[in-house]
Structure 1
């Protein structure tokens, strides 16, 4: 017994230790569950903004708040007002992240939110970031701080195209029934609780059940039963009657807020999805044009055509030499055909088409089988040229989209590519050339441009004054320039190669590139815009009319007066997205009887 007593006595501390150990383990398990839960709830409520939510202050004062709980003062009127203000602040709609970021830099107005008149996205840090720029790829220079009202600034030409192609909603009645059903469901619980409204509550329940049955069987207006208009009117009357009664607003408000939030999220999703698909359609080669290129390539290797010896014409500086950078067979053909059709002396015209290896053989086959009066056409593969020191990754003209927040306006500017600065090396025997982009249509004879007085300057072209150099300051470093200078547009440019070589414009451009790389941002756009600073001869605006690839408001009178139509923008005439009213000026120079066009069903 004595031994047993001692054994019992010694076992008690062990049991106590085990009980405390179990409690400690349970406490750790509970904490391991509560801490992640609190963390997730904190993220959901936005506690990352310490200055706004006061989460850090609450955490620090949690211990002292327990001690002072017994001495807490009653809620005052001022305290209640501050709580209400804080609640309203948390419920207000959030602004875009970019808007908040730039509001600190640009300063604040009376409302505490800055609205800069013109803001630019910072240029890419590496030169490789611009590899995807091409004639069909539009680079966004500046779109930040935009609201949903400035759709064009956010999504570019997509919004203009969407307005032009707006169609009537095919399931309008179905959507209207869903909206009415949602509102009726929001009011029904409160109506059912009210006394002396049993009959109306039953009627409302029957209407809801009938709508649920119809919507379960119908997904479009064509599937709806007859006399659905009367059912909609009946439900509308029921909802109006429900609103006339005094009900619990909390439940109704919660339901309607859910409806608004869901609708807004769905609208934003579809808007972004549509804009993405629009940009994808812009940047993707249409199936018919891809088929055309493939058919021409196959035909080239089947027939192996032999070029005629026209080397004397290609090297003769006395002739009129045009240069086109393009990988689009159809677009290049339209440019050459429209130029030749309006020329007084087509025999003097020589066209040099520079393209990449992928499009070289299709281009060769097309211009071998098609004649353009007496003009001479040469196709060059840029990969076969000896152009060491020149970047070939971006060789077609670029287009930049510039948006002005203060004017709610978007402009598109076209500039040279890296390979344009190798022209004196590509054509060493030529003295003067005219560069044509592949998205233009010529409507007048261009021979007068060869007599343009350059006045010792290098390049002549359209100076686009809707966008000044100062608007693109983000692409310039410490270089000196006049911010009020107009942008030189590509599309139609006269170049004095002799003067180019004397001033070594290519070296100037390369030094600008190297300077930007040393400053940490290897962007070629700044060098392209500044390389001809002070060396530009402006041509009359009647020579070139731009904007046919994004502007719906150009009149027929202005189009007929212009010598050259420039389809700069997203809506190229060879795409289905092209503006229908302007396509006719491009289509008239297509040879629709060509068998390759018929085989590939090319009908832009």
Structure 2
């Protein structure tokens, strides 16, 4: 999923999280205590010796001390090039350290120009900061690569299922097609390219439902993943629920560009004033509808009400009561995130905001009145706003977030917060009591539960909804 930063702050106010996103959260949790204290001490002494050496070398009567410092610096550089941990240091390192300490003490007692030493210190510090920043960027890039790359085991699963689909087409289960468009049933829609993720959503929903025969799941995917997902669900039974897999690229829709786009994830940063009138940067994570969501009224012309589930959720309670919910003429029943208000995003939403204090809302679990959606022509409204904001902002990501929030800004019915808890894909600090009472757990953020980088204390809830006895899991080295 796409994660971008939208900020109304200047460059000087950028925090680590704004610059590098979820990597900073992951790094804080995995920061290791420096164990190799002797190596660190050697580096510190080398730093000091390098700062004094140029000034000492300019004093004619200190040729001997200058040579001594130079020799110690070279010795330390050689040792540190070969040793990165204390256990790798040579046996005579204590004597080398003692000689360096003595040379530094002599250098400090010499009458040198303080500003020259300070200048050298600053040069070395700048070089060190540049190097640290380079490694920070490199680590953030590798972290981003890790969370966006399909794990080898999941790629194996998808490839094997695709091969099985074409190898044994006669094994495919005959679908219960009349249920697909029956408006009297409970229809769930999932956009997904991930076999395991969509399976967890359906399995967890069905396993907590008191009655499953009225449940119909529509998994919307793309051409690349259709065959694997179709094969997976055709060979599985989810109690009495019905599962339909649709290739969105093959649907005959008015919009010719009906390629699949998953729910969008945004990292939104803005300035706030705290209780002490201090300007601080706040970063929040939002997940919203994508372009594909605005095709729903056309994809399901016979349905009046649906529940849309992101593929990074786990259902932990019966959702049946959502179908009896009266959303008061609104279009979208959603859990709101009042940590972000539309007025705080005014820099790119402009004057189109009807209520500055209106809260942002989250995808993940959404009750949608498709009839009302059609009546209000919200898909057309979205496309118009998207074009306007694209021209004004020049950023596709900003335009998509703005168009989505503005399209639904007066059409949100607020669901109680106990229906869904978001943040399990980026927030290490969620209260476990909140996690346990939530009906739906939403793993929005980079650290998805099917990745090695997933947050360990939340991953178990996701793993429980898979049957780990599947032979194909063993074949592809997929384990709990």
Shared fold, TM over 0.5:
yes
Per the TM alignment, residue 285 of structure 1 is displaced from its structure 2 partner at its CA by: 1.5
- CA deviation string 1:393-433 (max 9, x = no partner): 45211111101344433111111111212212211222211
CA contact (8 A) 1:544 1:562 kept: yes
1:385 aligned onto 2:251: yes
Q: Post-superposition shift, 1:348?
A: 1.5
- Paired position in structure 1 for 2:276: none
- Is there any run of 5+ residues in structure 1 with no aligned partner, and where? 1-135
User: Which residue of structure 2 lines up, in the alignment, with residue 347 of structure 1?
Assistant: 213
Aligned to 1:6: none
* TM-aligned CA distance change 1:473 to 1:593, over 3 Å: same
Decide whether aligned partners of structure 1 residues 596 and 147 sit closer, same or farther in structure 2, where only a CA change above 3 A counts.
farther
**1:455 aligned residue (318, 328, 338):** 328
1:547 correspondence with 2:412: no
Residues 503-522 of structure 1 correspond to what in structure 2 (within 5 A)?
503-516=376-389
Q: 1:309 to 1:584 in 2, by over 3 A?
A: closer
The aligned runs of 1:534-573 (5 Å cut-off) are 534-573=410-449
Match of residue 52 from structure 2: 187
Match of 2:146, SS state, is helix
Does residue 389 of structure 2 align to residue 527 of structure 1? no
Aligned residue pair count: 469
Per-residue deviation at 1:368?
1.6
Going from structure 1 to structure 2, the CA distance change for 1:399 and 1:205 (only over 3 Å counts) comes to closer
CA distance in 1, matches of 2:108, 2:27: 37
**Residue in 1 aligned with 2:143?**
278
Corresponding residue of 1:419: 292
Question: Which residue does the alignment assign to 1:436?
Answer: 309
CA distance in 2, matches of 1:205, 1:426: 75
Q: How far off is 1:565 after superposition?
A: 0.7
Question: Aligned pair 1:575/2:431, yes or no?
Answer: no
Whole-angstrom distance in 1 between the partners of 2:359 and 2:389: 22
CA–CA separation in structure 1 for the residues paired with 2:433 and 2:248: 39
| Comparing 265-274 and 463-472, the one that deviates more | 463-472
- Structure of greater Rg: 1
Please identify, of 372-381 and 277-286, the stretch whose mean Cα deviation from structure 2 is larger: 277-286
SS of residue matched to 1:258: helix
Q: Which residue of 2 aligns with 1:256?
A: 121
CA RMSD of superposed structures (Å): 2.7
Report the CA distance shift for 1:458/1:200 in structure 2 as closer, same or farther (over 3 A). Answer: closer
Query: Are the equivalent residues in 1 in contact too, given 2:5–2:18 (CA < 8 A)?
Result: no
Q: Spell out, residue by residue over 1:508-545, the C-alpha distance to the aligned partner (whole angstroms, 9 max, x if none).
A: 32333354467685733322112223222111001111
Q: TM-score, normalised by structure 2?
A: 0.89
TM-score (ref. length: structure 1): 0.72
Instruction: Output the CA distance in 2 between the equivalents of 1:565 and 1:176.
Output: 46
Aligned to 1:465: 338
Unaligned runs of 5+ in 2: 273-279
Note if contact 1:460-1:494 (Cα within 8 Å) is conserved in structure 2: yes
The answer on whether the counterparts of 2:222 and 2:259 sit within 8 Å (CA) in structure 1 is: no
* Per-residue deviation, 1:201: 6.3
- For the Cα contact (< 8 Å) 1:137–1:282, is it kept in 2? no
Counterpart-to-counterpart distance in 2, 1:419 and 1:204: 67
Greater alpha carbon shift after TM alignment, 399-408 vs 171-180: 171-180
In structure 2, the CA distance between the partners of 1:445 and 1:204, relative to structure 1 (3 Å rule), is same
**What is the distance in 2 between the residues matched to 1:216 and 1:517?**
51
Q: How far apart, in 2, do the equivalents of 1:530 and 1:210 lie? A: 65
**Aligned runs of 1:219-238 on 2, under 5 Å?**
220-229=85-94, 231-238=96-103
CA distance in 2, matches of 1:349, 1:170: 55
Alignment of 1:196-235 (within 5 A): 204=69, 207-208=72-73, 210-211=75-76, 214-215=79-80, 218=83, 220-229=85-94, 231-235=96-100
The answer for the alignment partner of 1:246 in structure 2 is 111
In structure 2, relative to structure 1, the CA distance for the partners of 1:489 and 1:219 (3 Å cut) is closer
2:352 is matched with: 479
**Structure 1 residues 143 and 515, CA gap change in structure 2 (3 angstroms):** closer
Query: Residue in 2 aligned with 1:322?
Result: 188
Counterpart position of 1:43: none
Determine the structure 2 residue equivalent to 1:308: 174
* Secondary structure of the structure 2 residue equivalent to 1:476: helix
Tell me whether 169-178 or 301-310 shows the greater mean CA deviation: 169-178
Cα deviation, residue 140, structure 1: 1.8
How many Å apart are 1:332 and its aligned residue?
0.5
Alignment of 1:355-374 (within 5 A): 355-374=221-240
Structure 1 position 492, deviation (Å): 0.4
Q: What does residue range 593-604 of structure 1 map to in structure 2 within 5 Å?
A: 593-603=469-479
Say if 1:470 and 1:484, in contact at 8 Å, map to a contact too.
Answer: yes
Alpha-carbon separation, structure 2, partners of 1:199 and 1:384: 82
CA distance in 2, matches of 1:223, 1:519: 58
